[in-house]
Structure 1
């Protein structure tokens, strides 16, 4: 899973979800001067990926349904790569939840949070720590601070740490390192530290284990007259598959991210630019880019190439729409999928793309390409690639590639292309 995803996750967890449990018992442990916090790494739950703060009394079992078993080895089902360091950072929020909620209703603060997420692209754990501090400064009006940071002790199958925090509302950030390299990020919901009981932090992580990939359709050496083939198949693993990232590459050069569901299945479309085409799908584990698997098929195209085509893809869930105007001003898009010699081959409404418009009957003049953000989803980065048929080579050639970040839902004017 990419770090861009985690930036959005932190924003959602820090800003939108304020959660705390307050099971209190005067007979529980009562450390002086703050709360005692114990951290323990356990195996993840489906759909997880952040670490989740829970509160319970010392000696009281977890709530029914809560996973508590440890995961052997911290090494993803005996994969070669292993987590060998974990660091936690605790933030003191500095305000109570009522004040925090009131601050979050302020349009000025909402705008500052939005601008911060657009301007910040953390990569190292130090950058993530500063990003979290800056975000909390905005929503607490500079009342928050970094209270404590420390390494956890990793021994056999667990990462452990015991820390004392001052009373008040907190949030935490956790970084995992593999051979000295920062590879995974976790973040907590807000929690209340009180002297009445012990706060337990449970870390949920993705572990896919050894993985494999199978492209089920099209089959290898498939031949077709259609410009578009639908590609579906599955990733196979021994653990939770919801943390996988998928990439499809055509002819070793045309790549795009694809969606993989929690069961490991993928279903997308590939546009064929040559007579002989290779389609490769690679899945990558969210915890380590070193854990990946691929499958490849060859597809033969025996139909007619379009004179010009535009292909749109993007990096997340949301509905972007590709539009093309021919020299006569006729517009091809999802409501006019076949008009003026242009054909919308693929209309993707869920996310990632692709969408494709082909000029199958050429009109001399300039073609205009633009993209509408139909769902109004901001934060998506879109890519449009323009291909033109080369009669001498007998296949399509990439003549332009443009990218655009949808910071607002406004349309994106990609460019004009003569035929």
Structure 2
């Protein structure tokens, strides 16, 4: 069966959770013998090349201008998929798995005789664009950021109308995003299918050797606890909230604790200034920068606590499962798929408000011993229920549903 998967990017071109989900979905489907093409943006356009994961990658050039990039997400996938559909010979396209709202919009508008499709909702694209670019514009005063933010604001009602009035199935990765679709976007419950994301629990496993090596690298001795957060350094990730909460913890607790933030992004300089202004030295807070996937299990293993301080648009929360798979308990802000994951194993580790004060209070309770954390065995056992094989099977079940809805009724003999 020929399947096309559409997103704004894919792992390892981009390291976000949705991009990892796309990669694993394509890889698993290819391993099952399906002909899979992933259509996505990249720094350069490539007609079609086979990836190490076994699937084919077809890319279009991504603009650096915020508004031009957003418009490209509408027009370019429709152009590429239209060309694929017009190809002579070969297996016809059976189904589309669309995971980016502007691309969904472009396909509906611009591609006649669109094959059966379903939409994977990782979160509100329009709201994320607005919440990310409007604060960026206030700092940069760039016209492109302003236009991009206004475009995001204008897309909010469009997204609500298209998703709310469509008839296609919508896949979500958590009950949080399911509730969001029903309450905020008016999507009927019978159109929504919850398919939780996965984790390679063999790769993400505790390493005593890795723990010792990473703790030594950052000067963390046996008497010091280590907090880690693995995030893209962007506005909605809540890292300034975490830094402020950590500074508060340092004032209120005698416990020796070091914070290590892993990741890269546009807010790196801002976050370093933010930490400096709160009196935090490199001995207390370290920015590790980008860490390749091969080394991440060692970083997780080195930690005594993983913190997920997201402020918005967290459809699943892949780092939560990766950390738990390495035996590390997680503290999470509420209001996202990540908090659903944590609440299922440790409801006491969900912070009711995504504020620095609430996060600091939770950290003080943890390091004073008032809040009990799940042990390593419990974390590892919980993480094992999330696999990429199950995620792929869930998507295949949705594809079967889509194809069944599009099939003509069976003929009966007189």
TM-score of the aligned structures, taking structure 1 as reference length: 0.26
- Work out which of the two has the higher radius of gyration on C-alpha atoms and give 1 or 2: 1
The structure with the largest helix share of the pair is: 2
TM-score of the aligned structures, taking structure 2 as reference length: 0.26
